[in-house]
């Protein structure tokens, strides 16, 4: 076990019980204080730590870091320095914020320049996204959708257990948690009509996903082998792939999702490194039929991460509508990346590769509302008596995630979005 993962470590920064951000997490993000330019940060408890401010502080200097890499509006340049560099930063932070280290702890003036309460800052998109791929790697979700749109006997398509099905999504409309999204308008065609109509979607939905951020670029024509794949993965975020089911249904044949998806996707602000998640590796499901050699992997590349969806109606308390686990993916991240690049497709630092919706076996673990309400036919009843078939205006959807074991909790924070009415 890496010493930075030791559950016994404590920081001199206060960390409340149940916090997502103990000293073992040390995620990376981009923050902004009022009137200041955005720059890189990590977080312990409810304290934001400016890595740029820290980079000119004595404890952080002369370690071979280019301090300017933290003084940028996105993390791409920092991530591109490589995993070894990221690990050095992690070790440095772990030592500096250890409860026994007086260096910064007892330097009141330096702390004022480096530490900020989380409520005083705004979190920003952590990376400039190059390309974004959305996979479809959860068997239960693919089965549920196949059952809704086709039939239970033929729910999974013939290719599904042979390759991680995926498609290219829209990069420009990926936004940071807290960004509101207007209900999209578009073409839909009711089954009862022979002509399409135009208007706000009537079937707005969320999708609970976990995405990885690429950490190392490749050249066109150079596949990433499955053995090398993790070296190209920097860390994980939560991803809400908002979907307009009626628009999606009418447009999708034969070229796949387009305007039903690209009006907005929401990510959580902190990239949780694979280093921080190391204690939570587990084996994945047995894959039958056997996969082709380029998708055959060694070791554990699934992670035991609880993931949840909360729904908050205007003026109401939030209600959990889904509780499932990232371990429920059939195709893991190294298989996804090996597949994405096996034809020579090149990747860039900051690319996002998302899991696809993650569902468990029972309705309480379904990662989208179309599954939970069987395509709107069985509304979900909320504690205040109201019902939802799909998402309504002013509803807020919150994704949360955390890994927990032996008293150690490594969390993601949240990816939250409020739906505003369609624009006139």
Q: Note the residues at the interface with its own copies (CB under 8 A).
A: 130-131, 136, 157-159, 162-163, 165-173, 175, 179, 181-182, 184-187, 189, 195-198, 220-221, 223, 244, 247, 250-259, 262-264, 289, 292-294, 339-340, 342-348, 351, 423
Q: Which residue, 252 or 316, is less far from its own copies as judged by CB?
A: 252
Q: What is the nearest approach in angstroms of its own copies to the Cβ of residue 267?
A: 14
How many residues comprise the chain? 424
Taking the C-alpha atoms of residue 182 and residue 323, their distance in angstroms, rounded to an integer, is 26
Q: Which residue, 10 or 182, is less far from its own copies as judged by CB?
A: 182
Answer yes or no: are the C-beta atoms of 234 and 214 closer than 8 Å: yes
Quote the longest CA-to-CA distance of the chain: 73
Q: What is the nearest approach in angstroms of its own copies to the Cβ of residue 12?
A: 41
Taking the C-alpha atoms of residue 274 and residue 302, their distance in angstroms, rounded to an integer, is 11
- In this structure, the number of other CB atoms found within 10 A of the CB of residue 255 comes to 8
Q: Which residue, 19 or 187, is less far from its own copies as judged by CB?
A: 187
The DSSP output letter for 365 is G
Q: What is the nearest approach in angstroms of its own copies to the Cβ of residue 273?
A: 23
- Catalytic residue status for 141: yes
Q: Which residue, 18 or 199, is less far from its own copies as judged by CB?
A: 199
Report the relative pairing of strands 302-303 and 39-44 from DSSP bridges.
unpaired
Answer yes or no: are the C-beta atoms of 141 and 358 closer than 8 Å: yes
Taking the C-alpha atoms of residue 237 and residue 126, their distance in angstroms, rounded to an integer, is 10
DSSP string computed for 339-359: HHHTT-----TT-EEE-----
Q: Which residue, 293 or 299, is less far from its own copies as judged by CB?
A: 293
Q: What is the dihedral of CA 220, 225, 230, 232, to 10 degrees?
A: -10
Going 119 to 178 to 93 to 26, the CA torsion angle's sign is positive
Candidates 57, 141, 301, 302; catalytic one: 141
Q: What is the nearest approach in angstroms of its own copies to the Cβ of residue 254?
A: 6
Taking the C-alpha atoms of residue 347 and residue 222, their distance in angstroms, rounded to an integer, is 10
Q: What is the nearest approach in angstroms of its own copies to the Cβ of residue 67?
A: 26
Answer yes or no: are the C-beta atoms of 73 and 124 closer than 8 Å: yes
Q: What is the nearest approach in angstroms of its own copies to the Cβ of residue 265?
A: 11
Residue closest to 212 by CA, chosen among 193, 187, 237: 237
Q: Which residue, 48 or 204, is less far from its own copies as judged by CB?
A: 204
Taking the C-alpha atoms of residue 85 and residue 91, their distance in angstroms, rounded to an integer, is 10
Taking the C-alpha atoms of residue 308 and residue 305, their distance in angstroms, rounded to an integer, is 10
Tell me, rounded to whole angstroms, the distance of Cα 323 from its chain centroid.
15
Q: Which residue, 114 or 129, is less far from its own copies as judged by CB?
A: 129
Q: What is the nearest approach in angstroms of its own copies to the Cβ of residue 257?
A: 7
Active site residues: 141
């Amino acid at each position: 076990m890496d010493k930075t993962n030791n559950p016994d470590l404590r920081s001199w920064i206060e960390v409340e019980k149940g916090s997502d951000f103990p000293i073992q997490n040390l995620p990376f993000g981009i923050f902004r204080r009022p009137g200041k330019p955005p720059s890189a940060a990590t977080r312990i408890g409810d304290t934001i730590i400016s890595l740029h401010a820290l980079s000119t502080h004595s404890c952080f200097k002369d370690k071979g870091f280019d301090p300017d890499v933290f003084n940028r509006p996105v993390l791409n340049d920092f991530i591109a320095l490589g995993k070894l560099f990221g690990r050095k930063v992690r070790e440095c932070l772990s030592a500096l914020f250890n409860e026994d280290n007086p260096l910064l702890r007892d330097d009141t003036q330096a702390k004022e320049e480096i530490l900020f309460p989380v409520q005083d800052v705004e979190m920003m998109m952590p990376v400039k996204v190059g390309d974004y791929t959305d996979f479809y790697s959860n068997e239960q979700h693919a089965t549920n959708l196949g059952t809704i749109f086709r039939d239970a006997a033929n729910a999974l398509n013939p290719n599904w257990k042979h390759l991680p099905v995926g498609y290219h999504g829209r990069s420009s409309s990926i936004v940071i948690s807290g960004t509101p999204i207007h209900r999209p308008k578009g073409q839909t065609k009711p089954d009862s009509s022979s002509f399409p109509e135009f208007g706000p979607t009537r079937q707005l939905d969320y999708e609970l996903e976990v995405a990885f951020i690429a950490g190392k670029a490749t050249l066109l024509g150079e596949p990433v082998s499955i053995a090398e794949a993790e070296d190209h993965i920097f860390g994980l975020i939560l991803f809400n792939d908002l979907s307009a089911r009626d628009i999606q249904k009418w447009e999708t044949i034969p070229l796949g999702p387009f305007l039903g998806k690209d009006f907005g996707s929401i990510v959580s602000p902190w990239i949780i490194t694979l280093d921080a998640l190391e204690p939570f590796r587990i084996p994945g499901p047995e894959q039958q039929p056997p996969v082709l050699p380029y998708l055959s992997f060694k070791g554990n590349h699934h992670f035991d991460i609880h993931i949840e969806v909360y729904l908050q109606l205007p003026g109401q308390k939030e209600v959990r509508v889904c509780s499932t686990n990232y371990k429920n993916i059939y195709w893991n991240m190294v298989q996804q990346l090996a597949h994405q690049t096996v034809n020579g497709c090149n990747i860039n630092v900051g690319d996002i590769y998302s899991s696809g919706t993650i569902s468990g076996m029972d309705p309480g673990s379904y990662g989208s509302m179309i599954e939970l309400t069987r395509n709107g036919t069985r509304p979900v009843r909320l504690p205040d008596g109201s019902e939802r078939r799909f998402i309504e205006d002013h509803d807020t959807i919150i994704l949360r995630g955390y890994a927990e074991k032996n008293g150690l909790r490594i969390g993601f924070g949240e990816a939250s979005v409020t739906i505003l009415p369609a624009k006139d």
